[in-house]
Structure 1
């Protein structure tokens, strides 16, 4: 490959709007290694739903351009974690928050859910998903991760990473474990500014890095480096640009592709604008650069850095080779499936989504079994869609909405009152909720509400265990 080709091979770029023409030109001009689809790139129909045929066509056009002149496919990635972070909505199957899998504590649920989620992505032409998150959350003080985390301890999160990764790979899609060195224990959002991690190396190894060790032991092919200044490694320097941080990651035994978090985020772009972060990240040890704010400037900066010697040619060669190897491996995973995934798979996994929510449903206080509604309930909540979804699900099974016990839906950290309080995302609001029955559902999908009603009408148990401390409720709280 030429120097210009290598410089492009290590970049996954983004574009604006639903017309991919500028991105197709950038792929041609810069020899990009990949493209990411963000929310504003997703084509929709007249009803605001994802136009899945159009999405597949866009991805096919990007893949054709990325593969031009190469013997390996390009990367087409997306952020599709489930819960709050999901670029692709209906008619794709909706998934609950990742904390679901920590609460369920079931390898089968984790693997089946990710295989189903990734199968729908594969049908649309995606080759990589920036998930799962291995970050451990510290609770309500964590502004960024929250229910995107599997839990607050390595004992909860670690065992789920191998099955989550296996699910992705069974569908032929590459998982991207994030955000090393751990974003759940810092209290600044790196989308806005640079978080500072003040923990010692001993503390990080024991706590934040434990799930990453489990993911690496399970042969994670990709790990994302976050934008976090770790005082014990390189004070004031974002980990994505810090050689000490990449050395720490490699020291855990990681041999795959290290990808940066998005380089257009505030933690980077506010201090290192104009493409200068791209060669810095490569020099530090990154193999793949995600979303440089200006891919043309980033490409030019990489080429210039190699020419002036500030970025060794050998380091760029290593990164480009790792990425090409990854792409070939993804192609082999895809080919091992034996045939193209049909579009009929899109939206076909409601049962798996419900099974995940049913396995995770956690009761902190109150009755663990039996009918608790006796035919009617009153539904309250700040989010109109949540109230509507639960109302429709209740009426569909013959329950009267209005009268009976008052059920309050908590969508975020707010506390609530009533007979029953149900947290739909982060469970932190349950700490101060005034209710006889407090439950964490970790999702607001139609399937999650069906699982909730199964429990409340006595048709199913609530087997989940609390994966993170909530006020006075300890990790592991739940029905016996």
Structure 2
């Protein structure tokens, strides 16, 4: 880790000589030093949260932190160990018994747990009602928009977070994510693991892509802060992720431990910029990813590294809020590691919430044993639990401002983001008929939008049944009926020739029919190369630099609202105001 500059050291000395115990935001195990023997004023006894080393400025005030510290201080050790764990579960019924028996902090929902809006709202309400606590449960979900949405069919779909970078309107971003968070809160969720503060490095980024607002650090930082403030305004906890940055590593931590081999100077100029802005803005929670940061703690996942979590995030960036690990079920931290040791190591590193340990019961037992053996101070668990309890209580008390319609917010974001890189910036871009093909999800969303707008949608049809391939029946008595067989074979060949002529005629008619429409090629998440008169990228826009279509458009999503906006642009009823938030070689311009 780099050394601090002399002016910063001088300012720290001044703070240490004049500040009270709560002036800092440190999250380590040791107590902060006092004012020293030369202080003339009488010493004020520290409050319960000050004794845990908890600072303010990231959400809860001192009174809220003190109440939380007193409550967790009275917990039995087993309950305290369970409180810092957030688990996943199987099925679509509320996992009341698991949460209650292990005294878990809460749960995280995935697509397999969600059948409908009514069902997931009932699950969350049942948990809140039957698991009695004096503070809210941590009920989380990964609902980023774009390719990461666990509530499809139960909540409004939003475009990818990259749409905020294309729209470049922080006020719109805040309104959009406040509306989405209001919907989540009505469904009973208290936490959303979003937004992504990662800065994507481009096409070589295999994990983040359109989940990032931009490849430009300052732009990404601006949108992250705006989105997180929108979430918090609606009373939903935003968890900024994946510290210290997953957008510039060439591997997926779901599959392996990615290596970040950039220098600390380079990371400070790129990956760390949005996280520093998040800390300076007082955002309440950060998720630490599983990344081998060679410049800080070689070969140790950042989620398990005290040098990264406490040293870089808390001490260097000054973050005093809630630290959540990325999923502890991911290969980056499970391969070759004992899950019991992993749980303890993450807490010692400075994490406050252990997300999705492979077995929550095993993780809880490991924490209890570590405290009893002296390997982990009970104070560290109290510190972590107090942050969580105080923050959830603080957000539950927020008088959420009306978030507006989530559907309207999603449409407004797509309308501001849609980008035309090649072709005319105004006027009609297609005829009265269109021929969409390519990514099935995008085509399925586009067809009804085009039909509502009065466009004729041409899709290739299957050939008529009588043009299906025919084959002669096997001959059972070849010797006795040879001549009959030859007559039937000749007749079959004549029939096949006639079928082939009809198939050729049908193909010509079908191609002529499709030629009457404008070919529109859609590329989705897989980034497969498509072309046509119009090429549309519905996820990352890099594919637009590799096609030859005279008109190229990025929508950053295949939601119904995004497709409605696309149709309006194609038919000349709307201009495309967005600009590419990433570099795309091979296109004519960044936008209109």
**Residue 449 of structure 1: aligned partner:** 563
For the 8 Å contact 1:27–1:65, the answer to whether it is kept is no
* CA drift at 1:338: 8.7
Q: Does 1:319 align with 2:384?
A: yes
Contact 2:422 2:553 in 1 (8 A): yes
Question: Alignment partner of 1:102: what SS?
Answer: helix
- Report the count of equivalent residues: 458
- The whole-number CA distance in structure 1 between the counterparts of 2:548 and 2:587 is 14
Offset from partner CA, 1:302-342 (integer Å, 9 cap, x none): 01111111112222221111111112112212xx2399x9x
Matched, 1:400 2:400: no
- Which residue of structure 2 lines up, in the alignment, with residue 13 of structure 1? 87
TM-score by length of 1: 0.92
CA distance in 2, matches of 1:397, 1:38: 35
Of structures 1 and 2, the larger Rg is shown by: 2
Aligned partner of 1:159 in structure 2 is 222
Taking the TM superposition and a 5 Å limit, the aligned residue runs for 1:111-260 are: 111-246=174-309, 247-250=311-314, 251-260=316-325
Unmatched 5+ residue regions in structure 2? 1-74, 459-515
Q: Deviation per CA, 1:220-255: give whole Å up to 9, x if none.
A: 111000000100111111000000111211121211
> Which range moved further: 197-206 or 457-466?
457-466
Deviations 1:256-307 (A, max 9, x none): 1000001111111223233321111000110111111100000000011111
Aligned-CA RMSD value = 1.7
Instruction: Indicate how the Cα distance of structure 1 residues 32 and 443 shifts in structure 2: closer, same or farther if over 3 A, else same.
Output: same
After TM superposition, list the pairs within 5 Å mapping 1:403-414 onto structure 2. Answer: 403-411=516-524, 412-414=526-528
- Pick aligned residue for 2:108 from 19, 22, 36: 36
Indicate which of 72, 78, 82 corresponds to 1:4.
78
Determine the structure 1 residue equivalent to 2:426: 369
Separation (CA, whole Å) in 2 of partners of 1:99 and 1:149:
5
1-structure distance, mates of 2:176, 2:554: 19
* CA distance in 1: counterparts of 2:154 and 2:273, whole angstroms: 36
Tell me whether 1:439 sits opposite 2:503 in the alignment.
Answer: no
Misfit runs of 4+, over 3 Å: none
Structure 2 distance, partners of 1:174, 1:19, is 24
Distance (whole Å) between structure 1 residues aligned to residue 312 and residue 286 of structure 2:
12
Q: Is the 8 A contact 2:214 2:220 kept in 1?
A: yes
Q: Which residue of 1 aligns with 2:168?
A: 105
1-structure distance, mates of 2:418, 2:372: 57
Distance 1:273 1:37 in 2: 25
From 393, 397, 404, give the equivalent of 1:328.
Answer: 393
Question: What do residues 180-214 of structure 1 show as CA deviations (whole Å, max 9, x unaligned)?
Answer: 01011111110111101000100011100001111
Kept in 1: contact 2:339–2:357 (CA 8 A): no
Which whole-Å CA distance do the structure 2 matches of 1:105 and 1:185 have between them?
Answer: 22
Cα distance in 1 for residues equivalent to 2:531 and 2:335: 42
The residue correspondences of 1:415-434 to structure 2 (distance < 5 A) are 415-434=529-548
In the other structure, the counterpart of 1:281 is: 346
Residue in structure 1 matching 2:407, options 343, 350, 354: 350
CA–CA distance in 2 between the matches of 1:91 and 1:217? 34
- TM-score normalised to structure 2 length: 0.75
CA distance in structure 1 between the partners assigned to 2:587 and 2:300 by the alignment: 37
Mapped pair 1:469 → 2:533: no
Q: 2:546, 2:586 within 8 Å by CA — same for their partners in 1?
A: no
